[in-house]
Amino acid sequence: MSENTDQQSGGLVLIIDDDPMILILAREALEKEGFVVEEASDGSRVLSMFSRLQPDIVLLDVMLPGIDGFTVCRQIREHPEGKNTPVLMMTGLDDIESIKRAYDSGATDFISKPFNWFVLGYRVRYMLRASRTLHALDSSRVSLSYAQRIARLGSWEWNVENDRMHWSDAVNEIFNVDPQDLDKSYQAFLNFVHPLDKELVSSAIEGALTNNKPYSIDHQILLPDGSERFVHSEAEVIADKNGKPVRMSGIMQDITERKEAEKRIKDLAYYDSLTGLPNRILFKENLEHALAHAERKNTKVATLFLDLDRFKWINDTMGHSVGDLLLQAFAGRLKNTVRKSDSITHDNLSQSSYSIARLGGDEFTIILDDINRAQDAAIVARRILEETSQLFVIDGHEVFVTASIGISIFPDDGNDIVTLIKYADTAMYHAKDLGKNHFQFYSSDMTDNAFKFLLLENQLHHAMERNEFEVHYQPQVDMLSGEVICVEALIRWQNPELGMISPATFIPLAEEIGLIVRIDEWVLTSVCRQIKAWEKDGLPPVRVAVNLSGQNFMQKNLSDRISTILTATGVSPDRLELELTEGVLMRDGKETITTLDELKGMGLSLAIDDFGTGYSSLSYLKRFRLDTLKIDRSFIKDIASDSDSEAIVAAIVSLADSMKLRIIAEGVETVEQLTFLCGLQCNRMQGFLFDRPMTSSNMSSLLREGKNYSGRLHMDA
């Protein structure tokens, strides 16, 4: 190996693979760890490159065009400089035959595809470390003792006839003992072996003596100070001329660092760094084992898929650091909860490392193995919901969180992990649709609904280009004058295959798949064109309220986009009112405040829709320059019979009046509701009692007639 290369980097790596993506990803992963990387795509020119570069390590794919990887590996071993160069062969997952052929061809080790790119650098670095140690041993025989101490590799010899052992200084150092204080007998040696491995070591030695064959094992030792270490032991038997064993000669190497590195690599590959729980890879392996175990014993396995409700809102409002702490606290609470379920779970799966996993984000899974009835899973799910709903105190914040859980059962719902995970996930989303903080078992109806949902999503992607949207308008009435003071623009979707689709169905979907910003822009443009058409027809001027999704505020150019629409259509800003949700204001970011100030500066009115149902706060009413509060219909529905609803509405009206804000009551459907609202001095209303949402042509007729609604107050209920 080149000294210059070694000084400048972690080492020179030669990668031979015909897959361009593997070459790119491997180069990126290794260069991040400080390695210099050279590459080849076939085996024909490997030997010439090897001679020229003299790489520190070779990563060699099994399958290559022309000369295969096994042949290339043998050629490297036959090269004068290739005898001790580490060769890491890359094989397909579970390709046992390729692994065997790789070792027969002289490979140092193998690694299975697909890789965990994060740990590739660790793997290469470890192989180089081992390779360099062996190189030092070969090149400096006269310094064997020093090299052994560096490698923590010692030698020993046991005279079987008189039971005396000779240990090198390196073995004494491994055992951390003074050679003067030790009886060097076989039993003294065996006393250092960890109790858990005494049978393994004794069997290896006795087997070697009986069969006159060498052994090679890894085991633990227990030092006088109580600490534990891992060692690799190899030994062979020396017999007399009659074949009787008279001596054993062996070596012992302290491999504790290697074992710890392997554990760290395994932790990185199989465990979630935030919570310490198994990750998606280990979860799938554990589920495979659980299914095989259940199939043999003719029992059931439950797969629980958990998702925290409102976690994104917690992350957005309190910050990701609080979100991470919440996930850690939730994982701890989850482990304690499942541990209490030992009576219905298999012993080894009652331990958190086997039963619970974090798949990513706020998604968790639980395996309940060896259960006899599906209802056992419901007991655990119910206990999880109860424990989760208890208060969390995170970094000084009081946080309430709930979870939605989906459950699939083996073999009732499926026989493979892909199906069971998919069905548990489907059931979890169904639990969310039912109001969250629920658990649901999977049923085939959920798959049918999921298919319908997918069909709806596909149709929504094409709705705008097919002109399937239209805007309807509903009047807002001032009961003191009976006149229309504003109209709300409401989008409608008439699909030729699915019929009329409710906004309550497609608006959340549009937000989820990222179409809502385009839809909002289309609505704003359509409304402005309609306002201009009404002006040209000489109709009385009327303000139009347009709902605006909070996703628009995640883009920095909202005010510019609205300004462009107003300019293009020639509509005055004071003819528009933008209805926002409370969630937009709760973000309380500087960009949101700046955007709202820009919109107000343009002359637009701002309204809060569904006031009182979100995370209402007097602070944002004071901080933002708002014009209108819209009382949610849920408070209006029972205002005539529910004293709490009446009190809430009265408080909102009083608050709006004191802050000089317009107030609108939504969802007014009965004269009784109207009378109560007027009695509370809430005189601006919107609802079916006055008119349902109507087409633009019908709204044009209503405005042309100058319809007056004051008579509604005197109608019979």
Contacts of 267 (CB under 8 A, 6+ apart): none
The pLDDT of residue 5 is 42
* Distance separating alpha carbons of residues 404 and 6, to the nearest angstrom: 54
What is the amino acid identity at position 285?
E
Q: Token digits for 194?
A: 């960890």
| Strand order across the 164-167 sheet | 164-167, 153-159, 245-254, 228-239, 215-222
* Distance separating alpha carbons of residues 282 and 365, to the nearest angstrom: 11
* Helical H segments across 474-557, by residue range: 503-513, 516-536
Query: By percentage, how much of the chain surpasses pLDDT 70?
Result: 89
- What is the pLDDT confidence band of residue 674, given thresholds at 50, 70 and 90? very high
Q: Token digits for 72?
A: 């290339």
Flag whether pLDDT at 716 surpasses 60: no
Cβ neighbours, 10 Å, residue 620: 18
- 313 compared with 705, residue with greater pLDDT: 705
Parallel, antiparallel or unpaired: strands 87-92 and 109-113: parallel
SS3 content of the chain, % helix, strand, coil (to 5): 50, 25, 25
The secondary structure element, H or E, covering residue 227 is none
- Residue 699: exposed, middle, or buried by beta-carbon count in 10 A (0-12, 13-18, 19+)? buried
Q: Token digits for 439?
A: 């658990």
Flag whether pLDDT at 566 surpasses 90: yes
- What is the pLDDT confidence band of residue 567, given thresholds at 50, 70 and 90? very high
- What is the pLDDT confidence band of residue 338, given thresholds at 50, 70 and 90? confident
Query: At how many degrees (to 10) do helices 444-463 and 503-513 cross?
Result: 80
The secondary structure element, H or E, covering residue 717 is none
- In contact, 205 and 235? CB cutoff 8 Å: yes
Contacts of 581 (CB under 8 A, 6+ apart): 549, 550, 608, 609, 610, 614
Flag whether pLDDT at 220 surpasses 50: yes
The pLDDT of residue 313 is 80
pLDDT digits (tens, 9 = 90+) for 293-330: 889 888 899 999 999 988 888 887 778 888 899 999 99
* Distance separating alpha carbons of residues 590 and 606, to the nearest angstrom: 18
Q: Token digits for 605?
A: 């009115």
Average pLDDT of the chain, as a whole number: 85
Domains and CATH numbers, the chain: 3-139 (3.40.50.2300), 145-260 (3.30.450.20), 272-442 (3.30.70.270), 456-498+512-709 (3.20.20.450)
* Distance separating alpha carbons of residues 133 and 416, to the nearest angstrom: 46
Answer whether the bond into residue 114 is a cis peptide, omega within 30°: yes
Cβ neighbours, 10 Å, residue 456: 16
Evaluated on CA atoms 669, 673, 576, 702, the torsion sign reads positive
CA 53: distance to chain centroid? 42
Three-state DSSP class for 568? helix
Cβ neighbours, 10 Å, residue 614: 16
Report the range of poorest mean pLDDT among 231-245, 257-271, 476-490, 695-709: 257-271
- 588 compared with 630, residue with greater pLDDT: 630
Q: What are residue 275's phi and psi, to 5 degrees?
A: -105, -15
The pLDDT of residue 620 is 64
- What is the pLDDT confidence band of residue 149, given thresholds at 50, 70 and 90? low
Task: Read off the pLDDT of each residue in 632-658 and give the average, rounded to a whole number.
Answer: 86
* Distance separating alpha carbons of residues 192 and 225, to the nearest angstrom: 11
pLDDT digits (tens, 9 = 90+) for 32-73: 888 999 999 888 888 889 989 999 999 999 888 888 889 999
Answer whether the bond into residue 278 is a cis peptide, omega within 30°: no
The pLDDT of residue 354 is 46
Q: What's the count of helices (H) and strands (E) in the chain, helices before strands?
A: 28, 26
pLDDT digits (tens, 9 = 90+) for 105-137: 999 888 887 778 778 888 888 888 887 777 665
Q: What are residue 706's phi and psi, to 5 degrees?
A: 65, 45
Report the range of poorest mean pLDDT among 86-100, 262-276, 503-517, 674-688: 86-100
The pLDDT of residue 379 is 87
- 345 compared with 308, residue with greater pLDDT: 308
Task: Read off the pLDDT of each residue in 78-106 and give the average, rounded to a whole number.
Answer: 83
* Distance separating alpha carbons of residues 227 and 221, to the nearest angstrom: 8
Task: Read off the pLDDT of each residue in 274-293 and give the average, rounded to a whole number.
Answer: 91
Contacts of 319 (CB under 8 A, 6+ apart): none
The secondary structure element, H or E, covering residue 608 is strand 605-611
Report the range of poorest mean pLDDT among 272-281, 433-442, 577-586, 629-638: 577-586
